């Protein structure tokens, strides 16, 4: 058995004295593991860093085997990704999200989204917005997608201001007004009728929105906690936009 594909490194684990097991997100075959022999060599260590784009060739006798990777560098981003807190935490947080998906389950749109985000992690506002959209895409692929296109109560497609915590559907300002204190805010940049870039306040609402549904539908049923990297990314992105932002008192303050 053999195949070749584009991939992005999302993690590496030591195996024996000189080898590693590399975890990659491939374009056509989803998240995949493989053994890299001599992966701890001085030549391979700089290549096998999270965020780097590579070309992988996988070989195994049977499809269900771990198999061996031969890896060639394509785009080495890792050094640049170490320059900002949003990038450092962002790479780790997206890796944690991808691990919620079944191994070897194709998600080509997530591979493409990952490429885009990795190239924009240096800009906190862009990184925050793209990360939220990535979380929404993961929720959708797990079967818990949100419907933000029209009001759940009236069918209206304008003046959408809230998201129902029960249904995960958008609610218009007028229809949701009586229950506004029980609703989640719909960030303007996620509304189809709006064309606003993300700012500090809308990112706070967006992180709370995706964190709430990830906790309810994914983490809690599996007995998991949101990754510490997500909390680090949230704090770093918000602090970069507003240096006066206080440090969050609880790791889950914006996550659920």
> Domain residues of the chain, as ranges?
2-76, 83-148+186-241
pLDDT tens-digit series, residues 65-100: 999 999 999 999 999 999 999 999 999 999 999 999
Tokens 């933000």 -> residue: 148
pLDDT digits (tens, 9 = 90+) for 46-69: 999 999 999 999 999 999 999 999
| Confidence (pLDDT) at 250 | 41
Q: If you average pLDDT over every residue of the chain, what do you get?
A: 93
What pLDDT, on the 0 to 100 scale, is given for residue 246? 60
Instruction: Kindly state the percentage of the chain with pLDDT values over 90.
Output: 89
Q: What is the pLDDT of residue 253?
A: 45
In CATH terms, the superfamily for domain 2-76 is Nucleic acid-binding proteins (2.40.50.140)
| pLDDT over threshold 70, residue 248 | no
pLDDT-based confidence at 254, cuts 50/70/90? very low
What pLDDT band is residue 249 in, cutting at 50, 70 and 90? very low
Distance of alpha carbon 125 from the chain centroid: 15
Residue scoring higher pLDDT (146 or 255): 146
pLDDT tens readout for residues 235-246: 999 999 988 776
17-42 pLDDT, tens digit per residue, is 999 999 999 999 999 999 999 999 99
What's the CA angle centered on 98, arms 200 and 229, to 5 degrees? 45
In 78-195, where do the E strands start and end?
160-163, 170-172, 184-185
Q: Please give the share of the chain, as a percent, with pLDDT higher than 70.
A: 95
What is the DSSP secondary-structure string of 141-172?
Answer: HTT---B-SS-TTT---SSEEEE-TTT-BEEE
Determine the Cα–Cα distance for residues 248 and 142; give it in Å rounded to an integer.
29
Give CA–CA dist 256/250, Å, rounded: 11
Instruction: Answer yes or no: is pLDDT of 194 > 80.
Output: no
Q: Which residue carries 């440090």 as its tokens? A: 247
**DSSP code at position 190:** G
């Amino acid at each position: 058995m053999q195949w070749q594909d584009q991939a992005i490194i999302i993690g590496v684990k030591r195996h024996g004295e000189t080898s590693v097991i590399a975890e990659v997100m491939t374009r056509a075959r989803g998240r995949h593991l493989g053994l890299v022999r001599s992966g701890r060599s001085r030549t391979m260590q700089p290549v096998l860093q999270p965020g780097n784009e590579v070309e992988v060739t996988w070989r195994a006798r049977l499809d269900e085997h771990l198999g061996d990777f031969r890896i060639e560098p394509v785009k080495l981003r890792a050094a640049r990704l170490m320059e900002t807190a949003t990038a450092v935490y962002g790479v780790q947080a997206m890796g944690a999200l991808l691990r919620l998906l079944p191994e070897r389950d194709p998600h080509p749109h997530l591979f493409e989204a990952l490429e885009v985000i990795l190239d924009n992690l240096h800009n906190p506002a862009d990184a925050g917005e793209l990360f939220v959209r990535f979380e929404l895409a993961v929720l959708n692929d797990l079967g818990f997608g949100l419907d933000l296109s029209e009001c759940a109560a009236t069918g209206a497609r304008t003046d959408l201001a809230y998201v129902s915590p029960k249904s995960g559907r958008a609610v218009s300002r007028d229809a949701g007004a009586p229950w506004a204190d029980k609703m989640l805010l719909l960030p303007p940049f996620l509304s189809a009728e709006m064309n606003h870039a993300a700012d500090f306040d809308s990112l706070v609402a967006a992180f709370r929105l995706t964190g709430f549904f990830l906790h309810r539908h994914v983490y809690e049923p599996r007995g998991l906690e949101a990754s510490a990297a997500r909390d680090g990314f949230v704090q770093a992105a918000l602090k970069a936009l507003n240096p006066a932002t206080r440090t969050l008192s609880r790791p889950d303050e914006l996550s659920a």
